[in-house]
């Protein structure tokens, strides 16, 4: 029997929710480490609101802004050391998926100074961790509400996630206004990531009625936004921004139950080797996923078409037009090397309609090459 739902996070949503609920931070302690990337947190307004809320509460803070896209385990270990040296009682993560995921791992490494790379991946779950507060600034990963942190292993530069009860935020401030500063390309890529979560979860054998309820909310919102981005080819209005953000959270809640399918696993090599943003790397494999779903989950496939209000051809063309991942130029020997890291029984392959094999992964990648 699959678990129905586990989320141990309090989510406060709405415009200006950080400042209006600043007092909620007092319960976490007197000192806080803010984990973020470069300038995006400041540009979005989230960093200013968070530091303002901390000042209102008399909470001392320091900023660790070294998180990059596809964050390294070594960086989160450094963040954990910084938190300990500062004497942080809790962590606040601000940003898109990378800073939010990294914040969860920083909270774990801060509480476990003995953890190196192997220690983090091999830890007993749940391990000790500082409390984490998350403030999202993109509309993609749903990391605010999931118990997953995707990191890049320094030893082989491959993306690999950690997950468990120690990877959930204690508190989430969900304010869509922080996404308004995203540029067009980031808006597209993060929306594609959220769409991948929704579609992959929809066809998962773990997709129960709770997950389907989340998906029925998430997918129309996200797809509406993707169509607007495709047709207008410019930045969306606030209504679309809001739909994309809250759609990504509902897709995250669905993902929390169902997990990802093979596009996420196979898509990692496109990011690692070609620098393709995570969302586009996942949806590059979506036509393959939809074809398998059509053959193996016919009823759910047509329910999805009805939910999105378009035909299979229209959906595939829209995703391909936004993703633009083809003719990559990789060789068959490279593809064989990438595929050598998988077997037919890995979690995300089995969590796909009809299952998925390494041979199918090779075929899908060769078509992109």
- pLDDT digit string, tens, across residues 257-311: 999 999 999 999 999 999 999 999 999 999 999 999 999 999 999 999 999 999 9
* pLDDT of residue 129 exceeding 50: yes
| Strands across the sheet containing 171-174 | 10-13, 171-174, 132-136, 90-95, 31-35, 60-64
> In terms of domains, do 224 and 268 share one?
yes
> What is the tens place of the pLDDT at every residue in 219-259?
999 999 999 999 998 899 999 999 999 999 999 999 999 99
Nearest to 31, CA basis, from 82, 84, 90, 78: 90
| Residue 105 in domain | yes
CB atoms within 10 A of CB 237: 10
Peptide bond into 25 cis (omega under 30): no
pLDDT at 6: 64
> In terms of domains, do 332 and 295 share one?
yes
Cβ-Cβ contacts under 8 Å for 359 (sequence gap 6 or more):
none
Tell which wins on pLDDT, 59 or 125. Answer: 59
> What is the tens place of the pLDDT at every residue in 330-352?
999 999 999 999 999 999 999 99
* pLDDT of residue 4 exceeding 60: no
Phi then psi for residue 175, to 5 deg, are: -125, 110
| Residue 268 in domain | yes
Last residue of a domain, one of 128, 155, 179: 179
> In terms of domains, do 172 and 206 share one?
no
> In terms of domains, do 327 and 285 share one?
yes
* C-alpha span between 62 and 82 (Å, rounded): 9
> In terms of domains, do 356 and 239 share one?
yes
pLDDT at 8: 74
Q: What are the Cα distances from residue 334, in Å, to 145, 157, 365?
A: 36, 16, 10
pLDDT at 3: 46
Percentage of the chain modeled with pLDDT above 70: 98
Percentage of the chain modeled with pLDDT above 90: 94
> In terms of domains, do 165 and 222 share one?
no
Q: How does residue 78 score in pLDDT terms, banded at 50, 70 and 90?
A: very high
3-state secondary structure of 61: strand
Contact 266, 285 (CB under 8 A): yes
> What is the tens place of the pLDDT at every residue in 152-197?
999 999 999 999 999 999 999 999 999 999 999 999 999 999 999 9
Name the residue range of residue 217's domain.
184-368
* C-alpha span between 352 and 289 (Å, rounded): 8
> In terms of domains, do 149 and 232 share one?
no
Contact 289, 353 (CB under 8 A): yes
| Residue 306 in domain | yes
> In terms of domains, do 126 and 64 share one?
yes
| Residue 82 in domain | yes
Q: Please state the domain count of the chain.
A: 2
* pLDDT of residue 326 exceeding 90: no
* Terminal-residue alpha carbon distance, the chain: 39
Last residue of a domain, one of 160, 179, 198: 179
| Residue 5 in domain | no
Read off the CATH number of the domain in which 85 is found. Answer: 3.40.50.1970
pLDDT at 1: 43
Alpha helix segments (H runs only) across the chain? 17-20, 40-44, 46-56, 73-86, 97-111, 117-121, 184-202, 209-232, 238-258, 262-274, 278-283, 286-296, 298-308, 312-323, 332-339, 347-350, 358-368
Read off the CATH number of the domain in which 251 is found. Answer: 1.20.1090.10
* pLDDT of residue 38 exceeding 90: no
| Residue 1 in domain | no
Last residue of a domain, one of 129, 156, 179: 179
* pLDDT of residue 2 exceeding 50: no
Tell which wins on pLDDT, 105 or 327. Answer: 105
Parallel/antiparallel/unpaired status of strands 148-153 and 158-163? antiparallel
Specify the length of the chain in residues: 369
pLDDT at 39: 85
> In terms of domains, do 142 and 222 share one?
no
> In terms of domains, do 155 and 101 share one?
yes
Q: How does residue 5 score in pLDDT terms, banded at 50, 70 and 90?
A: low
> In terms of domains, do 264 and 119 share one?
no
> In terms of domains, do 267 and 317 share one?
yes
| Residue 2 in domain | no
């Amino acid at each position: 029997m699959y678990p129905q739902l586990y989320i141990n996070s309090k989510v406060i949503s709405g415009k200006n929710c950080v400042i209006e609920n600043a007092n909620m931070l007092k319960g976490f302690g007197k000192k806080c480490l803010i984990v973020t990337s470069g300038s995006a947190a400041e540009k979005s307004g989230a960093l200013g609101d968070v530091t303002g809320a901390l000042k209102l509460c008399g909470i001392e803070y320091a900023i660790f802004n070294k998180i990059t896209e596809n964050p390294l385990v070594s960086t989160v270990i450094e963040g954990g050391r910084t938190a300990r040296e500062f004497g942080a009682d809790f962590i606040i993560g601000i940003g898109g998926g990378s800073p939010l995921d990294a914040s969860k791992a920083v909270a774990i490494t801060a509480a476990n100074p003995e953890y190196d790379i192997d220690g983090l991946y091999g830890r007993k779950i749940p391990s000790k961790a500082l409390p984490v507060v998350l403030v999202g600034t993109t509309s993609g990963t749903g990391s605010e509400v999931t118990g997953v942190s995707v990191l890049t292993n320094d030893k082989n530069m491959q993306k690999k996630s950690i997950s468990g009860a120690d990877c959930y935020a204690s508190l989430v401030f969900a304010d869509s206004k922080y996404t308004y500063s995203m540029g067009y390309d980031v808006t597209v890529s993060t929306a594609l990531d959220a769409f991948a979560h929704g579609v992959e979860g929809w066809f998962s054998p773990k997709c129960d009625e709770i997950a389907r309820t989340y998906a029925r909310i998430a997918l129309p919102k996200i797809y509406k936004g993707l169509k607007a981005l495709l047709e207008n080819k410019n930045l969306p209005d606030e209504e679309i921004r809001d739909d994309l953000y809250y759609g990504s959270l509902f897709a995250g809640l669905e993902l929390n139950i169902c997990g990802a399918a093979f596009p996420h696993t196979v898509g990692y090599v496109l990011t690692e080797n070609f620098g393709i943003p995570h969302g586009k790397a996942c949806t590059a494999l979506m036509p393959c996923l939809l074809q398998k779903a059509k053959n193996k989950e016919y009823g759910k496939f047509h329910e999805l078409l009805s939910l999105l209000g378009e035909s299979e051809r229209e959906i595939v063309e829209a995703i391909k037009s936004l993703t633009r991942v083809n003719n990559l130029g990789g060789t068959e020997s490279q593809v064989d090397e990438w595929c050598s890291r998988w077997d037919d029984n890995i979690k995300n392959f089995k969590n796909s309609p009809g299952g998925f094999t390494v041979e199918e992964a090779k075929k899908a990648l060769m078509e992109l090459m």
